[in-house]
């Protein structure tokens, strides 16, 4: 009888009280019951919280009042779970309903901004890309966006201001992102209605994103408590409301900790709660991605206007920046002003990071759109780039090296002859791509007077550029070998110096690599490789020829008489050790060498090592001119497979053993068994 009464009472409270409470909370959240969005609803949705409330919430930027009201309603429902745990599932379902309806309202507001008025279902370019599932998935894997999302997730867990990006990683990301944009960007001319040109709409998009992101972060706290409460109901005690005294009233809730064990909350409802939060976050980041693309599409649009009128640069009368470039600068400044007041600092930096690289790439790759260009036209173009650089410096307060590259690219057109451009490649290396240099040569050729073009063999210079980037072309066309690895090694050494300041690779490893590249042994190998490369009779791709040369080089060293050339020996490190003894060292003014192979030991069974071998390196660490103790330590610390580089020097062994024999009376020589 008691069970029956309890069930009836529970149903009565659910039908009469719980339903009314949820209805009141929905009304306080000001949810519209209409499926259509009126102008009044839109104005209400876009309304911001009062500045006083923004201060109390310690927010650097305002959020939507509708989002704040939804949060307060969800928070109140979470606290009701604490007071009436037996109805937790009902309250959880009410939270889910609030979140889905708010997400729907924000999505309608978002679509009203990004969809074109003149055609149903057609959006501005940025949203067309974002709403395509395949493109959206690809854009979300772009390095900058992926890195930003990971950074944001870490911030939600732990406050961390460390920035582990280095110059090489950033440049790699920027290159990949720009290539993605150029591939997806329509080659047809853009119109003004293909971008969001209303700055109020840009501001609204930023505010919607920040509001939804804030809502998600706030609700994660309550979701975690409810999730933990499934295993331990004591966690319900931490469900408390935030107090904000500004006219937003909250119901007074009495503590009822003795009823926590009556909690009825299903895993399924919590999973639905989690999914509702994820839809909020997905929409939030879709909007951020639209903003990310929108800024870049603004650059595409204004530069496309600029490159429609390049004929003026053949007969330029002044060197003032182009009006379309000034329009781009004004647009970027307005975007900066709009977004700086609507997004937090890190998101603002994310949107504008790498913009200089995008602009520089467009400017460089669009050089074929000039039919020809005069000297004044070159100066005017350089002034255009400088004007853009000044604008980006004002936005990000730092200069942009990538735009300087674009500036240097067009300055190469000042060269009087094509040979000058080739000399720059020879002196400064390949600062641009092969195609970029070819476009430069072609533009310079088109800009020559007619009488000079007749005496200029463009194809010859194009071939020289191709050879500079692809040395194997010379072998294929002339039969001559242009292999010269010396310059490559020099560049590698310079790169190592750069990596010391920009990379996370340990200094010791970089130093050791540089030492190997500069060693006499390495240069001996290099010399043999180059000679074999010139003589090897192999047909096929450059990779096939290189592999054949490498194998022939190894064979040449292995077949050398007396094994006097260095050899690589790999021995397994077992519990018995390596099975050999070493003698000598820097303190004894002698090289370190193998003085004994222990019978039936690892080295003896392997058969590759012999008495009299000089030890050159252990696992890549050189021991030439090192102390005896260091070599022994390296051998003892080695685990798994030990890679030794040795050179057979029996004469040195004989001389050293004679010397030690003479000194045996006063002291014994250092003779360490490597058997540990």
**What are 663's two structure tokens?**
């000194």
pTM check: above 0.75: no
CA 92 to chain centre: 38
The pLDDT score that the predictor gives to residue 70 is 92
The pLDDT score that the predictor gives to residue 647 is 80
Which range has the worst mean pLDDT, 89-98, 456-465, 474-483, 562-571? 474-483
For residue 153, pLDDT over 70 is answered with no
DSSP 15: I
Which residues fall within 8 angstroms of residue 335, CB to CB, at 6 or more apart? 199, 202, 295, 298
Other CB atoms within a 10 A radius of the CB of residue 497 amount to 10
At 183-198, the pLDDT tens digits run 666 555 678 888 999 9
- Tell me where in the chain the CATH 2.30.42.10 domain(s) lie: 563-674
pLDDT band of 34, cuts 50, 70, 90: very low
At 403-439, the pLDDT tens digits run 898 999 999 888 767 778 888 887 778 888 889 999 9
Closest to 591 measured CA to CA, from 624, 621, 567, 568: 624
The pLDDT score that the predictor gives to residue 416 is 67
Give residue for tokens 């399924």.
Answer: 268
pLDDT band of 561, cuts 50, 70, 90: very low
| Distances from the Cα of 323 to the Cα of 299, 304, 383, 587, angstroms | 14, 13, 12, 75
DSSP 646: E
The pLDDT score that the predictor gives to residue 102 is 93
Separation of alpha carbons 196 and 294, rounded Å:
7
Mean pLDDT of 323-330: 96
pLDDT band of 676, cuts 50, 70, 90: very low
> Are the CB atoms for 479 and 472 separated by under 8 Å?
no
> Are the CB atoms for 475 and 541 separated by under 8 Å?
no
For residue 374, pLDDT over 60 is answered with yes
Separation of alpha carbons 176 and 354, rounded Å:
11
> Are the CB atoms for 313 and 377 separated by under 8 Å?
yes
For residue 67, pLDDT over 90 is answered with yes
Which range has the worst mean pLDDT, 130-134, 199-203, 487-491? 487-491
The pLDDT score that the predictor gives to residue 480 is 47
Higher pLDDT, 82 or 107: 107
The pLDDT score that the predictor gives to residue 524 is 67
Other CB atoms within a 10 A radius of the CB of residue 5 amount to 9
567, β-bridge pairs? 646
Which range has the worst mean pLDDT, 129-138, 150-159, 236-245, 495-504? 150-159
Closest to 591 measured CA to CA, from 536, 638, 649: 649
Higher pLDDT, 521 or 512: 512
C-alpha angle with apex 638: 636 to 643, nearest 5 degrees?
120
pLDDT band of 249, cuts 50, 70, 90: very low
For residue 71, pLDDT over 90 is answered with yes
Which range has the worst mean pLDDT, 181-190, 358-367, 610-619? 181-190
The pLDDT score that the predictor gives to residue 333 is 95
**What are 417's two structure tokens?**
């002859």
Mean pLDDT of 559-570: 62
The pLDDT score that the predictor gives to residue 670 is 47
Closest to 65 measured CA to CA, from 96, 28, 95: 28
Separation of alpha carbons 176 and 358, rounded Å:
11
Mean pLDDT of 337-360: 90
Closest to 89 measured CA to CA, from 221, 259, 239, 266: 266
Higher pLDDT, 51 or 168: 51
- Asked: is 563-674 a CATH 3.30.460.10 domain? The reply is no
DSSP 132: S
The pLDDT score that the predictor gives to residue 471 is 66
* Sign, Cα dihedral of 94, 98, 101, 107: negative
For residue 663, pLDDT over 60 is answered with no
* Sign, Cα dihedral of 45, 50, 54, 57: negative
Higher pLDDT, 578 or 327: 327
Mean pLDDT of 498-521: 72
**What are 48's two structure tokens?**
């911001």
The pLDDT score that the predictor gives to residue 576 is 81
How far the first Cα of the chain sits from its last, in Å, is: 80
Other CB atoms within a 10 A radius of the CB of residue 224 amount to 12
pLDDT band of 624, cuts 50, 70, 90: confident
Give residue for tokens 């255009």.
Answer: 384
The pLDDT mean for the chain works out to 78
The pLDDT score that the predictor gives to residue 395 is 87
The pLDDT score that the predictor gives to residue 237 is 79
> Are the CB atoms for 614 and 646 separated by under 8 Å?
yes
Q: Is 263 exposed, middle or buried (0-12, 13-18, 19+ CB in 10 A)?
A: buried
Q: Specify which of 307-321, 333-347, 475-489 reaches the highest per-range mean pLDDT.
A: 333-347
The pLDDT score that the predictor gives to residue 384 is 95
The pLDDT score that the predictor gives to residue 558 is 55
C-alpha angle with apex 608: 605 to 609, nearest 5 degrees?
95
pLDDT band of 33, cuts 50, 70, 90: very low
Separation of alpha carbons 462 and 470, rounded Å:
12
For residue 163, pLDDT over 50 is answered with no
> Are the CB atoms for 589 and 668 separated by under 8 Å?
no
Closest to 195 measured CA to CA, from 135, 110, 288, 116: 116
């Amino acid at each position: 009888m008691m069970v029956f009464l309890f069930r009836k009472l529970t149903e009565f409270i659910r039908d009469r009280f719980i339903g009314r409470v949820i209805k009141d909370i929905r009304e306080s959240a000001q949810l519209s019951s209409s499926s259509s969005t009126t102008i009044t609803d839109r104005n209400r949705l876009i309304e911001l919280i009062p500045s006083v409330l923004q201060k109390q919430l310690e927010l650097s930027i305002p959020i939507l009042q509708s989002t704040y009201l939804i949060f307060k309603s969800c928070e109140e429902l979470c606290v009701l779970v604490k007071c009436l745990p037996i109805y937790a599932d009902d309250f959880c379902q009410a939270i889910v309903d609030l979140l889905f309806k708010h997400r729907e309202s924000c999505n309608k507001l978002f679509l009203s901004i990004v969809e074109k008025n003149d055609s149903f279902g057609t959006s501005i370019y940025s949203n067309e890309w974002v709403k395509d599932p395949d493109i959206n998935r690809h854009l979300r894997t772009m390095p900058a966006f992926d890195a930003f999302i990971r950074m944001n997730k870490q911030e939600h867990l732990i406050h961390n201001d460390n920035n582990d990006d280095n110059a090489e990683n950033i440049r790699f990301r920027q290159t990949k992102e720009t290539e993605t944009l150029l591939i997806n960007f329509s080659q047809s001319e853009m119109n003004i209605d293909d971008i969001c040109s209303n700055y109020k709409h840009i501001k609204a998009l930023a505010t919607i994103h920040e509001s939804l992101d804030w809502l998600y972060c706030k609700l994660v706290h309550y979701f975690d408590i409810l999730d933990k409460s499934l295993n331990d109901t004591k966690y319900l005690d931490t469900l408390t409301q935030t107090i904000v005294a500004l006219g937003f009233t909250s119901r007074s809730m009495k503590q009822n900790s003795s009823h926590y064990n009556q909690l009825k909350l299903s895993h399924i409802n919590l999973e639905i709660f989690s999914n509702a939060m994820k839809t909020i976050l997905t929409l939030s980041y879709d909007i951020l991605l639209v903003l990310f693309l929108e800024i870049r599409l603004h650059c595409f649009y204004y530069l496309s206007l600029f490159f429609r009128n390049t004929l003026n640069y053949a007969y330029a009368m002044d060197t003032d920046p182009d009006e379309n470039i000034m329009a781009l600068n004004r647009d970027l400044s307005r975007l900066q002003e709009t977004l700086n007041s609507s997004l937090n600092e890190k998101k603002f930096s994310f949107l504008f990071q790498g913009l200089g690289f995008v602009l520089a790439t467009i400017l460089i790759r669009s050089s074929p759109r000039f039919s020809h260009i005069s000297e004044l036209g070159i100066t005017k173009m350089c002034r255009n780039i400088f004007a853009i650089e000044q604008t980006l410096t004002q936005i990000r307060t730092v200069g942009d090296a990538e735009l300087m590259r674009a500036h240097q690219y067009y300055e190469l057109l000042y060269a009087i002859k094509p040979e000058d451009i080739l000399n720059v490649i020879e002196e400064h290396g390949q600062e641009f791509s092969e195609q970029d240099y070819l476009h430069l040569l072609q533009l310079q050729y088109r800009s020559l007077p007619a009488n000079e073009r007749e005496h200029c063999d463009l194809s010859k210079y194009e071939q020289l550029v191709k050879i500079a980037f692809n040395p194997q072309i010379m072998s294929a066309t002339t039969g001559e070998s242009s292999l010269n690895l010396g310059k490559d090694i020099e560049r590698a050494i310079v790169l190592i110096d750069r990596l010391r300041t920009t990379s996370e690779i340990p200094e010791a490893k970089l130093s050791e690599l540089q030492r190997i590249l500069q060693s006499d042994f390495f240069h001996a190998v290099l010399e043999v490789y180059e000679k074999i490369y010139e003589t090897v009779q192999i047909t096929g791709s450059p990779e096939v020829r290189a592999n054949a040369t490498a194998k022939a080089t190894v064979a040449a060293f292995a077949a050398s008489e007396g094994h006097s050339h260095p050899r690589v020996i790999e021995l397994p490190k077992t519990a018995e050790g390596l099975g050999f003894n070493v003698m000598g060292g820097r303190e004894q003014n002698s090289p370190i060498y193998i003085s004994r192979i222990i019978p039936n030991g690892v080295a003896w069974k392997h058969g590759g090592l012999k008495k009299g071998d000089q030890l050159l390196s252990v696992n890549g660490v050189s021991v030439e001119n090192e102390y005896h103790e260091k070599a022994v330590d390296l051998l003892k610390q080695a685990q798994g497979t030990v890679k030794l580089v040795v050179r057979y020097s029996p004469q040195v062994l004989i001389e050293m053993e004679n010397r030690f024999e003479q000194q045996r009376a006063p002291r014994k020589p250092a003779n360490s068994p490597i058997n540990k």
